[in-house]
Amino acid sequence: MTRASIAALALALAGPSASTAAPAAWTAEVNVSQTPTDTETGLNHRPLAITPDGIFHVVWAERDSPSQQYRIWTKRLGAGGWTAPELVVDYPASDPGDPGDDIGAKFPALATTPDGDLHLFWHDYRVGGIDNVEIFTKTKPAGGAWDSSRAADVRLTTTDHPEALGDNGYVPVPAAAGDGTLHVVWWDYRFDGNHAEILSKTRPAGGDWDLTPGDSADVRVTDDSDHSELPAVAVDAAGALHAAWRSVGGGASILYAHRDTGTGLWSVPLDIDLGGAVQGAPALAVDGTGDVHVVWPDARAGARALFTRVRSSGVWSPLAEQITFSPGADEPSLDTGPDGSLHLVWSDARHSLFAWEVFHKTKAPGAVWDVDPSGDFRVSNANSNSVRPSVLAHGAFVSIVWKDERGGNQDLWFRRGGPAGTHVSGSSPAAAWLAFPNPTRGAARFRRTGAASASDLVIFDIGGKVVRRLPVGDPDTFWDGRTGAGRPASSGVYFVRETGSKRTLRVTVLR
């Protein structure tokens, strides 16, 4: 790393109090793992954490010698730059598996509790190889160091279901509440070797994990014949845990549930994708107002794109909204910044179906997503596959890591944006136009809240197709609810924008 890049990262790490001196753009891309062997990350999108001392932590799994199985490594980033890689979970040759089995200690995830402790979670094949994968955790105490010994590894799940082929728990996703309560959610085949269920476990604030052997210490979130996998979780300001996951059974869908803080019980899972064509795992975040946002890849518009629904005051938005309009989007990761902004990253095929890149966009508090593809910021510039991104918003900055093949093998790459580099976008509801009524059952009136900069308003549908052009009125522009061909616009979400502007007003039509 050059002195210039170290200096830039040091400024970024200074935090919000030094925002005036922070870089006004993104730092250079950095290869964090720098190994000749393959790196694994993603799926749980939690390899990043900031501890109260201001140190940035990243973890990943590396398929390295001597057994060619995965072991877990970490690095830290401070004002002096990156530390040397540190092995935190070993998987020696004496553990189950042969070279090429693709097993070991995999998919690590981090969570920080308010006391400054850093908690690591992963799934591990040490117990019985592919026939008994279990969830593990270990803790780095505040101000202390990682203990890489086996004695420090805590086995969170202890299952023995001979009736299920592959009694396995996979890809733990942790989340910490403001009072120190710590949750972990994962998908598990213990009840059926062909169909997984979503399970959870909670460590109360100031308490310990329930390590009772068997099933009693683990909470079963789902109980159905479908296959449920790849959960995403977040905790709101009141301490409630929210989760979304992909369910597959005659077609894929996105399900959601939340955990009551008082009873510890989960709500009945709710299908929130409303008959789309789900293509991948969801991301979930709670914004500064307490609204729950779920984003997932979906092919209902033809090419794979990202869609979202929002739960506000316990009520879901009526329809899914498309928020990317490139020829392919996948693997979303979502986080909320301290100011309540949402940061979304994903892998995108707009430049090449054979060389996906990582993109980023931000929705400011109280705004709607800017759906103009020109507003998406390109994070990676590899011209090779850059996939499985994860995002962490902290202070006035956003940090992103992803798996990248530009060096001929898979490495973990990193990039950080400063206050201007976070590329805050999203159309403010008070920026240019308001709609009355909204939702509407047909006609609507658009009122200008500032000086118009164009002569036309363009209405387009969720697939990006122009539905109607209207001359700008003074001060109101009226829409009779019909398309340019004179037919009533069908139910759905529409976007209204002045020609030449990126400010977008969302209007819902209910027939």
Note the pLDDT of residue 236.
94
204: three-class secondary structure by DSSP: coil
In this prediction, residue 25 carries a pLDDT of: 79
| Distance, CA of 152 to chain centre | 29
Q: Are 304 and 328 in contact (CB under 8 A)?
A: yes
Helix residue spans in 290-402 (DSSP H): none
* C-alpha–C-alpha distance, residues 314 and 329, integer Å: 28
Distance CA 91, CA 73 (A): 11
Q: What is the pTM (predicted TM-score) of this model?
A: 0.81
Helices (H), 87-174: none
Domain architecture of the chain: domains with CATH:
1-31+283-426 (no CATH), 36-271 (2.120.10.10), 433-509 (2.60.40.10)
Residue pair 389/333 in contact by the 8 Å Cβ criterion = yes
pLDDT at 110: 98
pLDDT tens, residue order, the chain (511 aa): 333 333 333 333 333 322 223 334 799 999 999 999 999 999 999 999 999 888 999 999 999 877 899 999 999 998 889 999 999 999 999 999 988 899 999 999 999 999 999 999 999 999 999 999 999 999 999 999 999 999 999 999 998 888 888 899 999 999 999 999 999 999 999 999 999 999 999 999 999 999 999 999 999 999 999 999 999 999 999 999 999 999 998 789 999 999 999 999 999 999 999 777 889 999 999 998 899 999 999 998 788 999 999 999 899 988 888 999 888 999 999 999 888 889 999 999 999 988 999 999 999 887 889 888 888 999 999 988 999 999 999 888 899 999 999 988 999 999 999 764 555 555 544 345 778 888 888 899 988 766 556 678 889 886 678 899 999 887 789 999 999 999 999 988 788 888 766 567 778 888 8
* Structural contact between residues 32 and 75, judged by C-beta atoms closer than 8 angstroms: yes
Torsion sign (Cα): 249, 255, 261, 263: negative
Q: What is the DSSP letter of 225?
A: S
Residues whose CB is less than 8 angstroms from the CB of residue 7 and which lie 6 or more positions away in sequence, other chains included: none
CA atoms within 13 A of residue 362's CA, in its CB half-sphere: 24
How crowded is residue 254: how many other Cβ atoms within 10 Å of its Cβ? Answer: 28
pLDDT of res. 163: 86
Contact between 434 and 449 under an 8 Å Cβ cutoff? The reply is yes
Q: Which residue has the tokens 């093949």?
A: 405
Contacts 24+ apart (CB under 8 A), 178-182: 178/114, 178/235, 178/237, 178/239, 179/114, 179/205, 179/239, 180/113, 180/114, 180/115, 180/205, 180/206, 181/205, 181/239, 182/111, 182/113, 182/119
Which contacts of 337-340 are long-range, i.e. CB under 8 A and separated by 24 or more positions? 337/393, 337/394, 337/398, 337/422, 338/16, 338/393, 338/394, 338/395, 338/396, 339/288, 339/365, 340/287, 340/288, 340/289, 340/365
Q: Name the residue among 390, 393, 288 with its Cα closest to residue 337.
A: 393
Question: What is the 3-state secondary structure of 163-188?
Answer: CCCCCCEEEEEEEECCCCCEEEEEEE
Contact 207, 179 (CB under 8 A): no
169 within 8 A of 190, measured Cβ to Cβ? yes
Cα(first)–Cα(last) distance of the chain, in Å?
58
- Please give the DSSP secondary-structure letter assigned to residue 9: H
